[in-house]
RNA sequence: GGGCGGUUAGCUCAGUUGGAUAGAGUACAGGCCUCCGAAGCCUGGGGUCGCGGGUUCGAAUCCCGCAUCGCCCGCCA
């Protein structure tokens, strides 16, 4: 609907330019807003105020020209008038609103989807947890946001590749192996022989037990059998990483989050990609030796100090494989890449981008794009749960899903914009009360389904497509309000996807559910008036479909009963 | 000291990319089920949009400065 209004205005502007009534072409993009006050119509346009200066005319005078050229014979509008300082307000005819229901029905499960990214590829990397422990609540937020972004991009036509990067090399993995080894030898965390920075969680004991029992880890792409030798640190490392990767796979499966590609940091070393990147950086003259280490001159690309690439002990720092990894993404043809990660890693952005620029491969400066989410704090029993991976005290994603339910966890994690910190109150999320917005939304869907059952018992069906004339009886304020909101789904999906902000869709859902509940309380659906009953059932069928489509885009179920 | 993010109703948060009288949930006060699911609806009070400048027809939104909270600033990842 918004697009139709845009087209009306653009056509009028063209006509004005042709007739030389307006001279300031090319005109700026036409932006159609929705007034906060319903008395100001369904849509409004501020173009007249923007043009006024260049036209040397009063805004209202410009608006008058545009309105005259829009004309009144489109059938789309019931009214179109100048208001305030020079707004053009559009009042869409009820008949035009009613007919959108037929379009929603025709689009069915695809209603809400757009074609903005059609035919284009995008790669989204998210979660990317180190295989040193089960996924915790912070990874959960990343998983929920990342997965929702993928679904939103798919809903707007993009061909999405979901990717998970495993840091299975480096210091943390050594600590993991040493921790498991210590447990194999019966060493406790308070023992003097306990490794520095060792992981103390209970799950380390489980891994050690499995290792000593010579168990086999079976997962999609890996089958690792433990030798059971506490002195073989390499074997312990392989086994532990396999164990924890399997563990994380299961966590993600429980959350209904799936990936297309898993890249292992270790593979970047074994394939020589890390060495190749370093060589290229040296050849391009962006590196230098100092204090026995090899440095990258990241200050040439906006960093506040240069960074070590190869430590004096010969090992590489984490961001070197990161650069190699991202070069690989570029070479795979992804001209658009989005990385979703915790904001505590934001300092990597400038380093990775600097490294990519230093490679001189024609990679754009702002590539890849980033979505950073802020910290999650956990409340249980009104008290904050301190998260410490090493001490092993934290809420795992799996526990949370088991306790709260997958739908509620997903909804909670995405209902605030990624930029704001999130307080996850476990007790509140567990409550099946109206405080919990996911229940409010799902309840609306279940309630509609229940009405259909009731209608079926009374001999009504909502299946057949009505004649356009049959739905003109839908004219109460609540009915029209509901229809207007239904037709706003595609715009909402588009906005959410473009801004990587899934929370916009959760707000839409809450508003739509509320709109339905208001309608329900004031308008009886099943009545003696058979024609009206049919029309209202038809409206509710579209409402249920819209709720379900939007929920599906967020990976949340639309139950028919609760 | 530097970087990123936050600051809007008692509390938790939105704010359609600069628009008209700043919204929702919760909490509080009151009302609505002989009737399709009350996990619901309706009404009411509640605000210096952190502070101060600037930009313009118009600012919660953009620019500058300040305050404050969180995260980061390692030859850890």
Residues 430-459 of A with CB under 7 A from strand B: 432-435, 437, 439-440, 443, 446-447, 449-451, 454
The reply to whether the CB atom of residue A274 sits less than 7 A from any atom in nucleic acid chain B is: no
| pLDDT over threshold 80, residue A464 | no
Protein-to-nucleotide distance from the CA of A420 to the C1' of B56, whole angstroms? 31
Q: Considering only residues A342 and A379, tell me which one the structure prediction assigns the higher pLDDT.
A: A342
Residues 153-172 of A with CB under 7 A from strand B: 167, 170-172
| pLDDT over threshold 80, residue A394 | no
pLDDT in tens, A294-305: 999 999 998 888
Protein-to-nucleotide distance from the CA of A304 to the C1' of B67, whole angstroms? 25
Which nucleotide is nearest to A295 if distance is taken from CA to C1'?
B75
The reply to whether the CB atom of residue A49 sits less than 7 A from any atom in nucleic acid chain B is: yes
In this complex, which residue's CA is closest to the C1' atom of nucleotide B27? A435
A200-204, A280-284, A356-360: range with lowest mean pLDDT: A200-204
Could you tell me if residue A272 is left (phi over 0), alpha (psi between -120 and 50 degrees) or otherwise beta? left
| pLDDT over threshold 90, residue A469 | no
Per-residue model confidence (pLDDT) at position A554: 96
Handedness of CA A455, A460, A462, A463 (dihedral sign): positive
| pLDDT over threshold 60, residue A532 | yes
In this complex, which residue's CA is closest to the C1' atom of nucleotide B38? A521
Q: Considering only residues A170 and A289, tell me which one the structure prediction assigns the higher pLDDT.
A: A289
pLDDT grade, residue A348 (50/70/90)? very high
CA angle A276, A281, A283 (to 5 degrees): 90
What value does the mean pLDDT take over residues A184-208? 90
What value does the mean pLDDT take over residues A481-503? 95
pLDDT in tens, A134-186: 999 999 999 999 999 999 999 999 999 999 999 998 888 999 999 999 999 99
| pLDDT over threshold 80, residue A220 | no
In this complex, which residue's CA is closest to the C1' atom of nucleotide B72? A344
Q: Which helix (H) or strand (E) element contains residue A365?
A: none
pLDDT grade, residue A119 (50/70/90)? confident
CB atoms inside a 10 Å sphere around CB A436: 19
Which nucleotide is nearest to A488 if distance is taken from CA to C1'?
B16
| pLDDT over threshold 90, residue A123 | yes
Per-residue model confidence (pLDDT) at position A384: 77
What value does the mean pLDDT take over residues A512-524? 94
pLDDT in tens, A58-116: 888 889 999 998 887 678 898 899 988 889 999 999 999 999 999 999 999 999 999 99
Protein-to-nucleotide distance from the CA of A106 to the C1' of B61, whole angstroms? 38
- What is the DSSP-derived secondary structure letter of residue A28? P
Per-residue model confidence (pLDDT) at position A392: 56
Distance CA A387, CA A400 (A): 14
Residues 185-244 of A with CB under 7 A from strand B: none
Residue A289 tokens read as: 């030796």
Could you tell me if residue A112 is left (phi over 0), alpha (psi between -120 and 50 degrees) or otherwise beta? left
In this complex, which residue's CA is closest to the C1' atom of nucleotide B22? A36
Query: Is the separation of the CB atoms in A494 and A158 below 8 Å?
Result: no
Which nucleotide is nearest to A423 if distance is taken from CA to C1'?
B12
Per-residue model confidence (pLDDT) at position A388: 59
Protein-to-nucleotide distance from the CA of A291 to the C1' of B75, whole angstroms? 9
Protein-to-nucleotide distance from the CA of A258 to the C1' of B9, whole angstroms? 41
pLDDT grade, residue A31 (50/70/90)? confident
Protein-to-nucleotide distance from the CA of A520 to the C1' of B26, whole angstroms? 23
Per-residue model confidence (pLDDT) at position A58: 85
Residue carrying structure tokens 């043809």: A333
Per-residue model confidence (pLDDT) at position A253: 95
Q: What is the rounded average pLDDT for all residues in chain A?
A: 91
pLDDT in tens, A38-57: 888 999 999 998 888 788 88
Distance CA A252, CA A134 (A): 10
Query: Is the separation of the CB atoms in A404 and A430 below 8 Å?
Result: yes
Query: Is the separation of the CB atoms in A242 and A219 below 8 Å?
Result: yes
Distance CA A415, CA A417 (A): 7
What value does the mean pLDDT take over residues A515-520? 95
Query: Is the separation of the CB atoms in A338 and A117 below 8 Å?
Result: no
Which nucleotide is nearest to A45 if distance is taken from CA to C1'?
B19
- Burial class of residue A203 in the structure, from the number of CB atoms within 10 Å of its CB (0-12 exposed, 13-18 middle, 19+ buried): middle
With a pLDDT cut of 70, the percent of chain A lying above it is 97
List the one residue out of A196, A181, A191 whose CA is nearest residue A240.
A181
Residue A109 Cα distances to A118, A203, A417, A540, A548, angstroms: 18, 43, 26, 15, 9
What value does the mean pLDDT take over residues A466-492? 91
| pLDDT over threshold 60, residue A336 | yes
Residues 108-127 of A with CB under 7 A from strand B: none
Which nucleotide is nearest to A37 if distance is taken from CA to C1'?
B20
Per-residue model confidence (pLDDT) at position A372: 95
CB atoms inside a 10 Å sphere around CB A120: 12
Distance CA A545, CA A562 (A): 17
List the one residue out of A134, A233, A100, A103 whose CA is nearest residue A179.
A233
List the one residue out of A94, A1, A79 whose CA is nearest residue A40.
A79
Protein-to-nucleotide distance from the CA of A434 to the C1' of B26, whole angstroms? 10
pLDDT in tens, A224-283: 999 999 999 999 999 999 999 999 999 999 999 999 999 999 999 999 999 999 999 999
Distance CA A81, CA A90 (A): 7
pLDDT grade, residue A434 (50/70/90)? low
Edge-to-edge strands of the sheet including A337-342? A261-264, A159-166, A121-125, A337-342, A369-373
Protein-to-nucleotide distance from the CA of A409 to the C1' of B13, whole angstroms? 17
Residues 290-349 of A with CB under 7 A from strand B: 290-293, 304-305, 307-308, 311-313, 315-318, 343-348
SS3 A21: coil
Which nucleotide is nearest to A350 if distance is taken from CA to C1'?
B3
Distance CA A408, CA A451 (A): 24
Q: Which nucleotides of B are covered by protein (CB under 7 A)?
A: 2-7, 12-27, 35-42, 57-58, 70-77
Query: Is the separation of the CB atoms in A48 and A35 below 8 Å?
Result: no
Residue carrying structure tokens 């995008």: A122
A62-76, A192-206, A461-475: range with lowest mean pLDDT: A461-475
Residues 484-503 of A with CB under 7 A from strand B: 495, 498-499, 501, 503
CB atoms inside a 10 Å sphere around CB A171: 11
Distance between first and last Cα of chain A? 34
Protein-to-nucleotide distance from the CA of A495 to the C1' of B55, whole angstroms? 28
Residue carrying structure tokens 């967020």: A554
How many CA atoms lie less than 13 Å away from A477 in the CB half-sphere?
Answer: 5
Per-residue model confidence (pLDDT) at position A157: 96
Protein-to-nucleotide distance from the CA of A523 to the C1' of B38, whole angstroms? 16
Query: Is the separation of the CB atoms in A550 and A435 below 8 Å?
Result: no
| pLDDT over threshold 70, residue A307 | yes
């Amino acid at each position: 609907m918004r697009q139709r209004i845009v087209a009306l205005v653009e056509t009028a502007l063209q006509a004005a330019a042709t007739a030389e009534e307006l001279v300031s072409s090319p005109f700026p993009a036409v932006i159609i807003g929705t007034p906060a006050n319903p008395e100001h119509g369904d849509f409004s346009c501020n173009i007249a105020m923007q043009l006024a200066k260049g036209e040397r005319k009063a805004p209202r005078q410009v608006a008058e020209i545009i309105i005259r050229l829009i004309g009144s014979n489109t059938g789309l509008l019931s009214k179109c008038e100048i208001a305030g300082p020079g707004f053009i307000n559009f009042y869409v005819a009820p008949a035009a609103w009613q007919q959108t229901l037929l379009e929603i029905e025709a689009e069915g499960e695809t209603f809400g989807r757009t074609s903005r990214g059609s035919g284009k590829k995008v790669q989204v990397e998210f979660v990317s947890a180190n295989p040193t422990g089960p996924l915790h609540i912070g990874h959960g937020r990343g998983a929920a946001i990342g997965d929702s972004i993928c679904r939103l991009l798919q809903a707007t036509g993009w061909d999405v590749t979901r990717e998970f990067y495993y840091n299975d090399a480096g210091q943390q993995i050594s600590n993991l192996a040493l921790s498991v080894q210590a447990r194999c030898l019966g060493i406790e965390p308070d023992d003097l022989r306990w490794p520095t920075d060792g992981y103390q969680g209970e799950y380390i004991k489980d891994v050690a037990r499995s290792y000593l029992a010579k168990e086999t880890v079976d997962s999609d792409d890996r089958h690792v059998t433990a030798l059971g030798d506490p002195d073989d640190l390499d074997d312990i490392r392989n086994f532990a990483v396999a164990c924890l990767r399997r563990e994380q796979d299961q966590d993600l499966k429980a959350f209904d989050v799936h990936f297309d590609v898993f890249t292992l940091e270790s593979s970047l070393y074994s394939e020589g990609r890390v060495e190749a990147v370093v060589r290229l950086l040296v050849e391009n003259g962006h590196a230098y030796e100092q204090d026995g280490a090899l440095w990258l001159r990241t200050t040439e690309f906006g960093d506040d100090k240069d960074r070590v690439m190869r430590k004096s002990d010969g090992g590489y720092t984490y961001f070197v494989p990161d650069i190699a990894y991202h070069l690989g993404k570029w070479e795979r043809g992804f001209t658009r890449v989005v990385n979703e990660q915790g904001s505590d890693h934001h300092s990597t952005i400038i380093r990775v981008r600097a490294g990519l620029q230093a490679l001189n491969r024609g990679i754009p400066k702002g590539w890849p794009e980033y979505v950073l989410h802020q910290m999650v704090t956990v409340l249980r029993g009104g008290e904050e749960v301190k998260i410490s991976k090493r001490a092993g005290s934290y809420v795992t994603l799996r526990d949370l899903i088991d306790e709260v339910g997958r739908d509620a966890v997903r909804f909670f994690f995405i209902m605030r914009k990624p930029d704001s910190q999130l307080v996850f109150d476990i007790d509140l999320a567990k409550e099946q009360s109206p405080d919990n917005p996911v229940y409010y939304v799902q309840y609306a869907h279940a309630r509609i389904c229940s009405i259909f059952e009731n209608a079926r018992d009374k001999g009504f069906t909502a299946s057949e497509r009505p004649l356009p004339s049959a739905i003109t009886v839908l004219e109460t304020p609540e009915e029209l309000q509901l229809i207007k909101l239904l037709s706003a789904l595609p715009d909402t999906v588009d906005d959410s996807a473009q801004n990587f902000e899934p929370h916009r869709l959760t707000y839409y859902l809450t508003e739509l559910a509320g709109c339905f509940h208001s309608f329900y309380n004031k308008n009886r659906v099943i009545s003696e008036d058979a024609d009206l009953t049919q029309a209202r059932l038809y409206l509710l069928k579209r409402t249920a479909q819209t709720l379900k489509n939007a929920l599906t885009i967020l990976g949340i179920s639309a139950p028919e009963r609760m």
